Amino acid sequence: MTAFSLEPAQLAWCAELRALAVERLRPYAEKGEPGRVNRPLVAELGRAGLLGRLFTSGALDLCLMRESLAHGCTEAETALALQGLGAHPVHLHGTPEQRERWLPGVADGSAIAAFALSEPGAGSDAAALALRAVPDGSARWRLTGEKCWISNAPEADFHTVFARTGPDAGARGVTAFLVPADRPGLTGRALDMLSPHPIGALDFDAVPVTAADVLGEVGSGFRVAMGTLNLFRPSVGAFAVGMAQAALDATLAHTAGRDAFGGTLRDLQAVSHQVAEMALRTEAARLMVYAAATAYDDGAPGVPRRAAMAKLLATETAQYVVDTAVQLHGARALQRGHLLEHLYREVRAPRIYEGASEVQRGIIAKELYAHLEDQR
């Protein structure tokens, strides 16, 4: 179905990406170890030219890439997205030296990036960061504390780390640092999570950083983090839409061919109406994701609200669609290795990471009331 106002060239590119995901990327994904960084897969994304596009594409192109890859290979989609999330602050706020040192490796897949924002006591509440950057002379600090639930940790080659450099509470006093993995005092451990992609914790024991490691300006780290999330939140929604579409496609094929009660499942109104609802919600989510991404690219007002709406609707929709698909497939969908068993594990995390659904609702309400006050 043609959605939004995509041009024929964009639709053709999406079809190419879906084929690429199945034919070139999925074989690498199937050889990977769950919960570990799949470096051969990341390298293949680099050879395909997709990682380099992270630094030249707008929000809509990012969404099209993530949706299309997710339809055929969620592992490839996630590997691409994590490279972008970890490296975007370097691309946008890094010094020429930082960009020259790390971005070529991200683009060709030889350097793995991580976005280290969440902490045990500051997951969705990003302003409650406790990782301390203790002054250690002029323009030098020591990072002390913990980061948790960090994708690509502890195997990443460098991390975008957010730490508190000032005593101010809340969003003020946070600075973003580029921290290579080989810094003394930096250790990590993998976490055994429901999601199959790599997630870990990082421990900072007086890790040294200097002014040369700062991304942006001292004290502007919260702005760096939120700017990155405003770009990537709609594309999290695109990831969800890709999974929802894959589940819907599988359900259409299954219900059209599965004999039951003297006909096929599609002949049962209770089934066909559920399939219609799955398609309705998926298309609605897709349209909102594309609209939010286009607003970001156009510099339109209300981007935080639009991004939050897109992520919220799409991730909640994908959860519904995948769950309904499992129900209509029956027990076969619960077998290890089935597409829907895989999607069922994948689909849960996006409702939490990069701001939980409850946080998105809070952002939407805050933006709505702020707009009301501006009108008065």
Pick from 229, 246, 241: nearest CA to 316: 241
Using CA atoms, how far residue 97 sits from 100, 104, 178, 196, 215, in Å, is 5, 12, 12, 34, 11
- Give me the amino acid identity at 236: V
Across the strands, what pairs with 208?
142
| Chain Cα centroid distance, residue 127 | 20
User: Is 146 among the catalytic positions?
Assistant: no
d(CA 98, CA 160): 12
Choosing from 67, 119, 316, 354, which is the catalytic residue? 354
Under DSSP, is residue 157 helix (H, G, I), strand (E, B) or coil? coil
Q: Sign of dihedral through CA atoms 230, 232, 233, 237?
A: positive
User: Is 369:219 a contact under the CB 8 Å cutoff?
Assistant: no
d(CA 117, CA 103): 20
Pick from 176, 74, 169: nearest CA to 117: 176
DSSP 8-state symbol, 55: G
Task: Return the active site residues.
Answer: 354
